Structure 1
């Protein structure tokens, strides 16, 4: 696992100043504390920070081909690199190292842009081919590893693992994309089709980008992979459960390859417990597992984690943190660059911190909820779909639309009485309703929060278009599949994988996600919907497959989530910090918000009349990002 930074000049072949390339590389030293390397030539600059995992002595980067005509910088791991190497050797290629990086070089030489089709793993890499006068960028299929870039408009192009790399470039425009503000408040993160800065883009998951010297037209990302929720996988429940177990075991085994200590996150939930159970059957020594607990039983899962650790005799380490552990806010702001409002980033950082004390690689259970319909919202959505299917659009919009508008927002009431969102959703069409389900701050709140000036800048743009368009074009045979597909394309890379990448890399830990192996995920997506969500039970086949390995009170207990009590924080220790945003803050000075409305929301939350905790958290994290953006200096251009 590493960090990459680079420069490419398509026109004049100017050489990047060494101090600028070094600054771009060193700002992500946390991603690679074990070493750094640079390559500079007319029109090209490559920088690399290394976290040594495989071929510790021979995997130094930038890595040249044997003839020096190709250079690569690579962030990630190719789990099938030995298999690909054997295929390349049969074609006559030779190798000097036991390195997955060298395999990518030779795969490029053999297959060109199609090399990515051969790679099984997580990756973001850049290849400079002097003979072809080409820079080739690639990102893994599901977006585990990030890649930011900016076309500077004068033939020069810069890229890197995090946005802070690009901020080191002198003169990079720091103008905010107003549509990103709409997206951020809708989703709690800025999806991969945009960036907080209008001048910066993210290479989408499953895409490549090829730039050539002297090209007449701008380069455009090319998609090389997709997934289909189409019910093509057939068989009995028993046979498919057996096959699922075998596929999961293979995915875990591939991710145990490392020349450094490997461990696992163990939350006590289904997915991390399944990963630990399979790990225990694949290695001869005890699994190194770790978990974070809280001093409030309502948020603590350590008892379940300890039960799995005992069952599989792991070397388990647990640490209890206070549920008032909000001191990481500024650390997270620096780690994410863009505003990121998933508060589970705090415990994810803490468990990464704990794991890094004893291991360099940790396996996680991320990905199964998206692939196997594990989130509660899928069940609720399909229940709503049955109602939508039974009533005409006119009746739904008339009856439930009125109910949704009239019903009060009873945040304090028992769940059965908090029906406003459900009524609103039933009145909508299917895709719009699912966007409504995943939205953090609803349309009605954003409309009141945003100033007239911001609305004019946005120009009618609506964040929900991303979800509705994705669902309408999804390769899926029902609405559940369409919802899952949209989550795989948008939520997974934008929220879940961003969270895990930034928090783990902030402490120089490599996180691996075996349940996001693209071959495994593709197979799971092909299962009939009823094998994913069955009788209201999400991840149904996965749970059946794991019954021989995990107790039923782990498999079938209510999903808890990795949450923290931000609602309580904003009625206590953070209340004054939020109140201070109304005056003298970056968000207040932006002119984007009706700060009187925001102050009213903060006061209503503080008094207990309403729950605006997610909105308050979003505003607090945006304030941190804007402050960091203005405080981050670019590198000096002096040579």
Structure 2
């Protein structure tokens, strides 16, 4: 795991200033504390920060071929590098190191752009070919590793692992992007097809971009996509065994490291599955860690300890307070863009705990997206059954009318929030699901904006990307479409961004075996009944682990990292809520109705309503705007 950055003069081979590449690396030093390197050529400068994982002595970067005609700076891991190396050696390629990085160089020479199809891993890299004067930027299939880039007025292309790397270049103008603010308020994060800084882009998951000197910069091209269009036809017991084998292989391949390795263990299905399979493949006790809370309703340490005892792991746990908001400013700085998933706080703590004893930790991230494990997947599946029976006109007339008059009850248990369900049934599946994954509904967002902001948005609506992804998905069923959109939007924008930034904040490499692309491709072909059955998602995954994990653990209600943000804004953070309604960065943009925000803060503080999640979003947005654009 590393940090990369670089400058490429697209129009001409004018010299790149070494100091500028160094300046772009400097704010990302947490990504690579074990070393740094530069490579400078005509019109090109590549930089690298190293967190040493494989070939500790010989894997320094940027790495060039012995001929000096190819150079790469690479962030991530190629899990099948040993097999690829053997294949390339059979074709006459001579390797000088034991690192996975060198496989990318020889793979490009042998297969060109098609070499990326052979890579199994998490990666973002930039490869420069001196013969063709071309720079190839590539991001892994799911977007585990980030890559930001921008074209500057002087004709140069700059790139970096994190936004702060780009912002260190003096040629990048700092101007906020209003549509990204709309996207952030809708989702709680800025999706990968958007950026809070105007002109900055993120290479999307499964895309690559080939920039050639002297030619116009092309649009990125997609080299991989997940398809839900086909179905496995084997018997259930065969599917179960096939899944077990793919899980074993995914975990085993991610256990290769020349540094201490462990796992996050929450006691849920996904992390427990990973730990169980790690234990099968390890001669030593697996090192596991868990973060618990001093509030019983939020604490899962007992479940984690039960799994740890079952597999004899070297287990460590630490209890923290859910009121651990002292990290807010530090976390906001690591995300650069506004990020309102409050589970980032406990995620940071569990990464911090893991880093005390290991350099690499395996997680269960990705299983919910691959196997339909979110509660919203169950709701979407059930609602779609109703949509199939009742024509759209009838649903709009009946459910739409009922939803309009049913009292709003955000404070009630989910099963009593009938208004949301009625409104969802009145809409088509894509519109309903797009609304369900959001944080702040469109009408409330519109009410927060001033006329200036509403005019500036020019009709941009955050939900449209989800609707388009679902309607255009290579899929058969409504749940296919929901999972497809989650994999394309939610997974890289929220889940993987959170894990990458929080693990890198403490120089820890996180690996996600559940996102082995061969495993996810298999999961996407599973019949819906093997994903959702009754009140349970991830059906086949759970079924395949029944002989390894306790049934009550496999089928207990899903929990997650929880943070009591609503209570925070009635207590210790009440001042923060009042501050953003006053002379804050939000006010300086002139995009927000500050009197309305002040009323929201006051009614929340008094207990008359619950706007905790929205206030958390606004506070994190305020911090990002102030830090990035000097609006504070």
Structure 1 partner of 2:48: 48
After superposition, the Cα gap between the structure-2 partners of 1:526 and 1:416, relative to the gap in structure 1 and judged at 3 Å, is closer
Structure 1 partner of 2:73: 73
2:405 is the counterpart of 1:393:
no
Answer whether contact 2:141 2:206 (CA < 8 A) is retained. yes
Secondary structure of 2:325's partner? coil
Number of residue pairs aligned between Structure 1 and Structure 2: 631
Secondary structure of 2:82's partner? helix
Q: Distance in 2 between matches of 1:232 and 1:395?
A: 32
Answer whether contact 2:63 2:101 (CA < 8 A) is retained. yes
Q: Deviations over 1:509-548 (max 9, x none)?
A: 0000001001111111111111011123100000000001
2:434 is the counterpart of 1:431:
no
Q: Distance in 2 between matches of 1:416 and 1:135?
A: 53
Answer whether contact 1:26 1:49 (CA < 8 A) is retained. no
Q: 1:417 Cα deviation (Å)?
A: 3.0
Structure 2 partner of 1:333: 332
Q: Deviations over 1:19-77 (max 9, x none)?
A: 21111012110000000000112210101000000000000001110111111100000
Structure 1 partner of 2:161: 161
Answer whether contact 1:289 1:314 (CA < 8 A) is retained. yes
Q: 1:414 Cα deviation (Å)?
A: 4.0
Q: Deviations over 1:311-360 (max 9, x none)?
A: 11100000000111011110111110000111111111000000000000
Structure 2 partner of 1:295: 294
Q: Distance in 1 between matches of 2:121 and 2:212?
A: 26
Q: Distance in 2 between matches of 1:445 and 1:631?
A: 27
Structure 2 partner of 1:176: 176
Secondary structure of 2:233's partner? coil
Q: 1:389 Cα deviation (Å)?
A: 2.1
Structure 2 partner of 1:637: none
Q: Deviations over 1:246-295 (max 9, x none)?
A: 11010000000000000000001000000000000101000000000000
Q: Deviations over 1:390-420 (max 9, x none)?
A: 2222222222222222222222334443222
Structure 2 partner of 1:573: 572
Secondary structure of 1:27's partner? helix
Q: Deviations over 1:549-599 (max 9, x none)?
A: 100111000001111111111111111111111111101211111111112
**TM-score, normalised relative to structure 1:** 0.97
Q: Deviations over 1:176-216 (max 9, x none)?
A: 1111111101111111111111110000000100000111x
Secondary structure of 2:259's partner? coil
Q: Distance in 1 between matches of 2:443 and 2:270?
A: 35
Q: 1:436 Cα deviation (Å)?
A: 0.8
Answer whether contact 2:12 2:214 (CA < 8 A) is retained. no
Q: 1:229 Cα deviation (Å)?
A: 1.3
Secondary structure of 1:210's partner? strand
Answer whether contact 1:174 1:199 (CA < 8 A) is retained. no
Alignment of 1:424-573 (within 5 A): 424-573=423-572
* Range with greater deviation from structure 2 (175-184 or 369-378): 175-184
Structure 2 partner of 1:412: 411
Higher-RCO chain (CA-CA 8 Å, sequence separation at least 6) = 1
CA-atom RMSD in angstroms:
1.1
Q: Distance in 2 between matches of 1:512 and 1:93?
A: 29
Q: Distance in 2 between matches of 1:442 and 1:279?
A: 42
Q: Please identify runs of 4+ aligned residues in structure 1 that moved more than 4 A.
A: none
Q: Distance in 2 between matches of 1:96 and 1:414?
A: 61
Structure 1 partner of 2:320: 321
Q: 1:609 Cα deviation (Å)?
A: 2.4
Q: 1:231 Cα deviation (Å)?
A: 4.2
Ranges in structure 2 where 5+ consecutive residues have no aligned partner: none
Q: Distance in 2 between matches of 1:90 and 1:527?
A: 37
**TM-score, normalised relative to structure 2:** 0.98
Q: 1:631 Cα deviation (Å)?
A: 5.2
Secondary structure of 1:226's partner? coil
Q: Distance in 1 between matches of 2:286 and 2:12?
A: 54
Secondary structure of 1:359's partner? coil
Q: Distance in 1 between matches of 2:384 and 2:595?
A: 38
Structure 2 partner of 1:142: 142
Answer whether contact 2:149 2:157 (CA < 8 A) is retained. yes
Structure 2 partner of 1:382: 381
Q: Distance in 2 between matches of 1:598 and 1:421?
A: 23
Secondary structure of 2:446's partner? helix
Secondary structure of 2:326's partner? coil
